[in-house]
Amino acid sequence: MQNHKYAKAEPYLLRLAKAPGATAKTLEALVNLYFAQQNYRKALPWLEKLRKMDPQNPAYLENLAIAYDWLGEPENRDRVLKELAQKEE
């Protein structure tokens, strides 16, 4: 049942996320959907876009580090965590 909900939501959210003027809330919803599916690879480009939209938002960096960790990319995870630590200083 849950996967069926995702299947319906993903194309809708993708259309909204790719539209000019897409809001951070829309991108966050798409990232949350991919995290719920444990599809971290699909979440990455949207997390990067969120980071560019609001570089001061630590939640975007935290989620990016989590995605890299789940994907088995410790170098990228550590790079993002270092960036996060520098922002918190």
Positions in the chain short of pLDDT 50: 1
Find, among 69, 21, 19, the residue nearest to 44 by Cα.
69
In the structure encoding, which two tokens stand for residue 77, read together? 């995870």
How do the domains of the chain map onto residue ranges?
Answer: 2-88
Q: Using one digit for the tens of pLDDT, what is the confidence trace for 71-84?
A: 999 999 999 999 99
- pTM recorded for the entire structure: 0.88
CATH architecture of 2-88: Alpha Horseshoe (1.25)
C-alpha 49/C-alpha 54 separation (Å) is 9
